[in-house]
Chains A and B, each alone.
Chain A
């Protein structure tokens, strides 16, 4: 009995631990003949036969595994119809920075190795912000930033409805200047009969004016209108004469004389 034939039947001979696939010897000669034929065919093409025969084509990684997974899902029609997309998102630049952040974490741990007390403390943010603080911050900052601009822009917008943009801005600017001048002037008392010189100015006004304090004597003299000044001085002297008279009468008059006068 052929030992090999015997061994081709798995577990037939318990003394021989080796076994062979079913029909191995049956197809062996056929396979050999096929191989020889192939070699013979290429014999005349020396260059071609010298090239190592292997497939240069490759498939994407896990291509066959992917097919297998797809096939597995065919039993579940609804599930396999769902587009296989990752619905999760990561923060911006996460992958670009994750390597750095891991390295930093390791470095940090290394750096603090020599400080046992510090390392023993739990690292946490101990500060608290008031509730809803961040919800209103954008509004607050923008409010603060554009506070001065709102009125001006609204005026310009109204004017822009009638005039061109440039004209609207020009009119708005003129309005601001005119109103400014109006309010500036209305705040001061107007001196009647103002002659535009120091003579017509109120004493308080002169004292309030910083410009006057910085003037030299000659400039001050130029500001004086001699005619108006002499008029004012006369007025002042008349007033003081009347005052003097009053004082004299009060000081020297006898009570009886006064009674007689009445």
Chain B
């Protein structure tokens, strides 16, 4: 059985075991966070950058982490925010293209060696990439991660009602896109 969050935090509080706490934290959450980040930034190399930044930020902020909150909820929030910040920076840096970053990501999927979906899966990802930022994240969290709205509310700091509405708008747009394409 894996190490518990309480044990990780306890190790973190002891200076002698702090380094080990970081190792356990990464080992425990790397996959969950990676897939969350990857679905937002799409490209693996970008996801890798964001992953590293996320853990560095988490590590720096762990001192102020309130233990009554769930560690994973907080990690998810940091990862999501880091991914969005990354995409905004990428958009700013890319002055050569007139298209929004989502369009570029959608195009890049077609030749991505780390994407193994068939045509319909590609269409679905492209449909998701047409959604506004927040709807995209809500859809991914609900559809793929099957996250309860209450938990999602903690991560995105948005009311359950708003999240439900967001998910339905997203699903409707995706359905329309798939039907049209």
Contacts and interface: CB of A to CB of B under 8 A. Distances in A.
A91 B1 CA distance: 7
B96 interface: no
Given A104-B147, A138-B23, A130 B114 contact: yes
Interface in B105-124: 114-117, 120-122, 124
A8 to B, nearest CB: 65
Contacts of B2: 91-92
Nearest to B113: A128
B1 A89 contact: yes
A112 B42 CA distance: 24
Nearest to B112: A127
Contact of A127 (B26, B59, B114, B148): B114
B131 to A, nearest CB: 13
A83 interface: no
Interface in A89-105: 89, 91-92, 100-101, 103-105
Nearest to B58: A141
Category for how many chain B residues contact A: 35 or more
B1 A128 contact: no
A123 interface: yes
A145 B56 contact: yes
Interface residues of A, number: 35
Interface in A42-94: 89, 91-92
A146 B55 CA distance: 12
A126 B167 contact: no
A91 to B, nearest CB: 8
B144 interface: yes
Given A118-B178, A134-B31, A141 B44 contact: no
Nearest to B172: A115
Contacts of B55: 141, 145
B44 A108 contact: no
Nearest to B5: A92
Contacts of B35: 125, 127
A89 B121 CA distance: 35
Given A126-B115, A127-B38, A141-B56, A115 B121 contact: no
A115 B174 contact: yes
Contacts of A255: none
Interface string A202-236: 00000000000000000000000000000000000
A133 to B, nearest CB: 8
Contacts of B124: 118, 121
B115 A134 contact: no
B172 to A, nearest CB: 7
A142 B167 contact: no
Contacts of A146: 19
Contacts of A32: none
Interface in A103-122: 103-105, 108, 111-112, 114-118, 121
Interface of A: 89, 91-92, 100-101, 103-105, 108, 111-112, 114-118, 121, 123-130, 133-134, 137-138, 140-142, 144-146
Interface of B: 1-2, 4, 19, 22-23, 26-27, 30-31, 34-35, 38-39, 42, 44, 48, 51-52, 55-56, 59, 114-117, 120-122, 124-125, 142-144, 146-148, 167-168, 171-172, 174-175, 178-179
25 contacts: A91-B1, A91-B2, A92-B4, A100-B148, A104-B146, A104-B147, A108-B143, A112-B171, A114-B175, A117-B175, A117-B178, A117-B179, A125-B35, A127-B35, A127-B115, A128-B114, A134-B31, A134-B34, A137-B30, A138-B26, A141-B51, A141-B55, A142-B23, A142-B26, A144-B56
Given A118-B178, A142-B22, 10 more contacts: A108-B143, A111-B142, A117-B175, A118-B171, A118-B174, A126-B121, A126-B122, A134-B34, A138-B30, A145-B59
